[in-house]
Amino acid sequence: MKISLLIPVFDYDIVELVHCMKGAIDKVPELYEIIIGDDGSSAEYKELYKSLEGNNVRVISSENNIGRAAIRNRLALEAKGDYLLFVDADATLPGTAEAYLKKWLTVINRSMVLCGGTLYHGSPPGDPDRLLRWKYGKRKEEIKASERNKHPHAGFSTFNVIFDKSVFSKIRFDEELKQYGHEDTLMGYQLRKAGIDVLHIDNGLLHGGLESNKDFLDKTRLGIENLSRLFDSVTDKKVFSECVRIIRIYNKCKFLRLTQILSNIYLRYSEKMEIRLDTPDMSLCLFSFYKICMFCSFREIQSKKKVL
């Protein structure tokens, strides 16, 4: 059995992560290689990644930023392992790399796709400007495997996931997705449509790259816009809706004829909601309401385009 550890990265310091993982190569012989996928980083970071090469660590580099899906597909093609372990660049280990890798080995034959989960530090960040991302992650993303396995495809995430390499003979990350947001949602949907099971386990990595409140709100906007586009493009909207909670809520609002009202609320009050969300005592309930109003707004815009 060979495991290829794959780390897609763009302008991010992964020295600690790679050194920790590299230190486990001799202790966990199943870890065959570590491949860094540089997605068009600046010259400074390219040099940093090159300095990590050696002892079964190598770098594949793209001159331009080709996107999260394309760099992952390139990593999968380059990998020589039987299993592909994707770890995001802003992940950190809560314990030792050896313990983390050995936990995968105890379950690796139980499913073609296994998600390890996402963890957050127990204490809030000292910088209140990063509190929204931490609160959201702690409440919505740090979920036990027993809960994630109730809706395994809906809970799919590429942050910390291992694939049987044969999966990529049936399905790949969709390179048509250029804008940030909901790449994981689409992959979870595609896995379900292909009849490929997803198993969640408790083998989490810490999410270290907390964006500022403003950056997180900007990414949320991009993600919701992308989700609206995906909803138009998928062939089985019923299955896709089952994989995405916000669309299930939208469908209920549509049945109750509330979508126009929610869209108008977003258009009129979005700036005030964003100001409120950029404060230390922000509410995640408000954040959820903000997102569904935004999604309704994008759907209204799309429906008007269709009419025209």
With a pLDDT cut of 90, the percent of the chain lying above it is 85
Q: Which amino acid belongs to residue 264?
A: N
State yes or no: pLDDT of 176 exceeds 90.
no
State yes or no: pLDDT of 25 exceeds 90.
yes
How sure is the predictor about 305, in pLDDT bands with cuts at 50, 70 and 90? low
State yes or no: pLDDT of 152 exceeds 70.
yes
How sure is the predictor about 307, in pLDDT bands with cuts at 50, 70 and 90? very low
For residue 245, the tally of other CB atoms under 10 A from its CB is 14
State yes or no: pLDDT of 40 exceeds 60.
yes
The stretch 269-280 carries a mean pLDDT of 95
pLDDT tens for each residue of 212-259: 999 999 999 999 999 998 999 899 999 999 889 999 999 999 999 999
State yes or no: pLDDT of 21 exceeds 60.
yes
To the question of domain 3-210 being in CATH 3.90.550.10, the answer is yes
How sure is the predictor about 175, in pLDDT bands with cuts at 50, 70 and 90? confident
pLDDT at 278 (0 to 100) = 94
* Among candidate residues 270, 260, 264, 181, the one with its CA nearest the CA of residue 228: 181
Q: Which amino acid belongs to residue 17?
A: L
pLDDT at 181 (0 to 100) = 73
DSSP letter at 125 equals: P
- Top pLDDT among 307 and 44 is at 44
Domain residue ranges of the chain, discontinuous segments joined by +: 3-210, 216-307
* Helix (H/G/I), strand (E/B), else coil: 278: coil
Q: Is the CB of residue 24 less than 8 Å from the CB of residue 55?
A: no
State yes or no: pLDDT of 269 exceeds 50.
yes
How sure is the predictor about 67, in pLDDT bands with cuts at 50, 70 and 90? confident
pTM, entire model: 0.93
**What's the mean pLDDT when you consider all of the chain?**
93
d(CA 92, CA 88): 9
The stretch 277-293 carries a mean pLDDT of 95
The stretch 282-301 carries a mean pLDDT of 95
Instruction: Write the DSSP string, 218-261.
Output: HHHHHHHHHHHHHHHH-S-HHHHHHH-HHHHHHHHHHHTT-HHH
* Among candidate residues 267, 271, 266, the one with its CA nearest the CA of residue 289: 266
The stretch 138-166 carries a mean pLDDT of 96
State yes or no: pLDDT of 55 exceeds 80.
yes
State yes or no: pLDDT of 158 exceeds 90.
yes
Residue with tokens 């920790």: 20
pLDDT at 192 (0 to 100) = 94
The stretch 59-66 carries a mean pLDDT of 91
State yes or no: pLDDT of 129 exceeds 70.
yes
pLDDT at 306 (0 to 100) = 57
How sure is the predictor about 304, in pLDDT bands with cuts at 50, 70 and 90? low
pLDDT at 308 (0 to 100) = 45
**Residue 160 forms beta bridges with which residues?**
87
